[in-house]
Homo-oligomer: A and B are copies of this chain.
């Protein structure tokens, strides 16, 4: 039996769901889990269905395409298999470490093909887990030249997502466009608060009573991409910005890990600048 996930988004249409179920029924498919969302204002339909079948992906997909027969309908039929990811990091170990431990522990349904960093600090941690580590230093290079080296390295791999585990360099539009909707970042604030550098210092200076973290897809507008998941923790006047950072790091790593799991389980639709997460 093959485990399938069927993701469909389309203009909303009275008979659409009925037709989709009709096709699945033709193949004698029983649905294990089904989620739907209709954006009524914009007349947009989203559906994610899990089922098992011994029928091949091509047969089911061909049948769906021929019965639905409408180019405005996006159909993705995904066979369950372990996805591949590349992790990019800089110097901080907590988010990367979280991914490595989950990977080791079988809690991350992905292969970590490589870790790329602009420093060498994290090499010993990564190599403990027998994962290739590439230090691509940015010293003396302009942004474009450094990114060229990173892009060349990425070209050596076949992966589904790039995970920015506190990668502290801004990506150029070229880079982002090359991996559109494939780059997941963790930002250390509850966006849209504290965009940009040093969010914990910003939070401390503003005197907030909560801090947070936001996992989002990366788009050209810094810290403006579709949000996947957010969480917060309480702080108070006894926290200086270093204490806020310490408290926030526990949130950062869990938020990123949860967002990544949603992506790995094909639970996310990107819809304009937002996400629908089933």
Contact = CB atoms under 8 A, between A and B. Distances in A.
B232 A208 contact: no
A175 interface: no
Contact of A237 (B25, B209, B232, B276): B276
A25 B18 contact: yes
Interface in A210-252: 210, 212, 226-232, 234, 236-238, 240, 246, 249-250
Interface stretch (A28-36, A139-147, A177-185): A28-36
A123 to B, nearest CB: 13
A21 B34 CA distance: 14
A237 B18 contact: no
A190 B207 contact: no
Given A18-B18, A209-B229, A227-B208, A93 B104 contact: yes
A181 B257 CA distance: 34
Interface residues of A, number: 70
A97 B93 contact: no
Interface string A19-43: 0011001001111111111101100
Contacts of A25: 14-15, 18
Given A18-B22, A193-B193, A194-B192, A231 B254 contact: no
Contacts of A212: 210
A237 B206 contact: no
A2 interface: no
A98 B105 CA distance: 11
A41 B240 contact: yes
A201 interface: no
A17 interface: yes
B104 A125 contact: yes
A230 B207 contact: no
Contacts of A231: 210
A274 interface: yes
A50 to B, nearest CB: 10
B230 A209 contact: yes
Contacts of A31: 17, 38
Given A104-B125, A128-B128, A193-B193, 16 more contacts: A14-B28, A14-B29, A17-B21, A21-B21, A32-B38, A94-B105, A97-B104, A107-B246, A107-B249, A190-B193, A209-B228, A209-B230, A237-B276, A250-B257, A250-B258, A254-B254
17 contacts: A14-B29, A18-B25, A34-B38, A36-B36, A37-B238, A97-B105, A128-B128, A192-B206, A207-B226, A208-B227, A209-B228, A210-B212, A210-B232, A237-B275, A237-B276, A250-B258, A254-B254
